Amino acid sequence: MAYGGASPTLQMMIKQKIKLRITRYAIRNTNRKGAALLVVLFIIMAITILSLGFLSRSDVELACGQNMILRTQMDYLAESGLEHAKGLVQNPQDIDSGYWTGATSQQLVEGSNDFYDVTVVRDDPNYCNYIIDCNAYRRKGSETVGRSSLAAELRLDPCIAYWVGKSTTIHTEITINGDVYCDDDLIVNGIVNGDAFSKKYITVNGSVTGQKNESVTPPVGLPDLEYSDFSSQYYYNGSGPYSVQPLDPDYNSTFPGPGVNNPACVYYRNGNLELKGEIDITGMLVVKGDFKLKENCNLTITAVKSFPALLVGEDIKIEDDNQSLTVNGLAQVKKTIDMGDKTGSSLNVIGALCITNDEGIKNTNGCTISITAFPDKAAIETWPTADAANKWSPAAGAFFRSIQRK
């Protein structure tokens, strides 16, 4: 390219300056493109770091949420274990032992990985209170990945020890460990370690440690045992019929106990019965008439599991001093228990006593009477036929007095 009349030397200088400017422009443009790339890289890096932070935080919150769900599920499972125990404690007829003491590796859903262990301990000597511990957990292989433990105190309420069908007086010689119901007016001169219920009025001259409940309906009904169900044959655990052992009016032989043909050991007297001496009966004694203890009679009756202990169609009468009647189970008497003011004589019921149609226990001077609510012994299941069972329990309900997380 020619630049007018410039000399070759000038033309060379002009060309060099033009090349220099072009090189500087190219370098300047190249530097600008690198800066933009760095800015883009920094932006991408910032976005990546923020994204990783959000993802990490999300993972943590997700894990916290999963842990919260697991803890909630285990809490509910532990509460279900408490309810499981509550149901069986209220219905001891449904188990083989006296009361349900618990079990391990229980499941609500078969085949799941969720389990619970339950232990039940009676709060002696208060036979209506139970301490229950439940431990719920989830298994993942051999590892436990979640756990919730609850401890509770269960109270059977009301838990009737003494049920009377007419106006009655609990005399000073009488101690009731449990709750009392009277289907008329009730006078308490003795001790009731529990609540008192009455269809009409309650007068307390002695002691009632629980509440007075007047003008109320029966918290539990009567067992309504029928003599006809045990007069000649009976059913037991849905099997039978089995034959009862009849008794003479002054029976003085031994009471043999359970047998193949009489598994509940039912002994029946169609009329009055008198017993003498030292006698232990395992089973059920049924007397359609009066039942008398005389001549140094010390009688102990222990019911077979989930069956009544004593059924009397008229009165029980203590005929001499220093006699004793002990009943381990449910006793149902139609009229009265007449202690006869016999010095040193005693009545001890561990279970429940129901006097259906009279004034209850009378003529107690010089005597000792103790009636203790014991649901395990008093709860029964009888079978009028092989296809139908009647259940009765002295416990009308139950509630948890306390539940604590362990």
Q: Summarize pLDDT for 249-270 with one digit per residue, the tens.
A: 888 778 887 777 899 999 999 9
Domain count of the fold of the chain: 2
Residue 400 makes CB contacts below 8 A (sequence gap 6+) with: 82, 86, 152, 153, 154, 155
Judgement on whether residues 149 and 187 belong to the same structural domain of the protein: no
How far is residue 237 CA from its own chain's centroid? 23
Are 351 and 329 spatial neighbours (Cβ–Cβ below 8 Å)? yes
In a domain? residue 251: yes
In a domain? residue 23: yes
Judgement on whether residues 150 and 166 belong to the same structural domain of the protein: no
In a domain? residue 405: no
pLDDT digits (tens, 9 = 90+) for 286-323: 999 999 999 889 999 999 999 999 999 999 999 999 99
Judgement on whether residues 178 and 324 belong to the same structural domain of the protein: yes
Q: Helices then strands (H, E): number in the chain?
A: 2, 31
Judgement on whether residues 186 and 277 belong to the same structural domain of the protein: yes
Judgement on whether residues 205 and 135 belong to the same structural domain of the protein: no
Are 89 and 334 spatial neighbours (Cβ–Cβ below 8 Å)? no
Judgement on whether residues 61 and 169 belong to the same structural domain of the protein: no
Judgement on whether residues 313 and 235 belong to the same structural domain of the protein: yes
Give the largest Cα separation in the chain, rounded. 164
- Kind and range of the H or E element at 373? strand 368-373
Residue 341 identity (one-letter amino acid) = D
Structural domain containing residue 216: 160-395
Q: Looking at 156, 182, 204, which one is the last position of a domain?
A: 156
Judgement on whether residues 147 and 237 belong to the same structural domain of the protein: no
Residue 236 identity (one-letter amino acid) = Y
Judgement on whether residues 372 and 242 belong to the same structural domain of the protein: yes
In a domain? residue 312: yes
Give the CA distances from residue 324 to residues 32, 257, 318, 344, 352, in Å, rounded to whole numbers and listed in that order: 114, 21, 8, 9, 17
Q: What pLDDT is attached to residue 19?
A: 67
Q: What pLDDT is attached to residue 3?
A: 47
Whole-model pTM: value is 0.81
Q: Looking at 108, 129, 156, which one is the last position of a domain?
A: 156
In a domain? residue 400: no
Q: What pLDDT is attached to residue 370?
A: 97
Judgement on whether residues 100 and 178 belong to the same structural domain of the protein: no
For the chain, which residues score pLDDT lower than 50?
A: 1-3
In a domain? residue 401: no
CA-angle at 275, arms to 164 and 253, nearest 5°: 135
Q: Looking at 156, 177, 201, which one is the last position of a domain?
A: 156
Judgement on whether residues 69 and 106 belong to the same structural domain of the protein: yes
Judgement on whether residues 217 and 326 belong to the same structural domain of the protein: yes
In a domain? residue 33: yes
Q: What pLDDT is attached to residue 28?
A: 58
Residue 398 makes CB contacts below 8 A (sequence gap 6+) with: 86, 89, 90, 154, 155, 156, 157
In a domain? residue 4: no
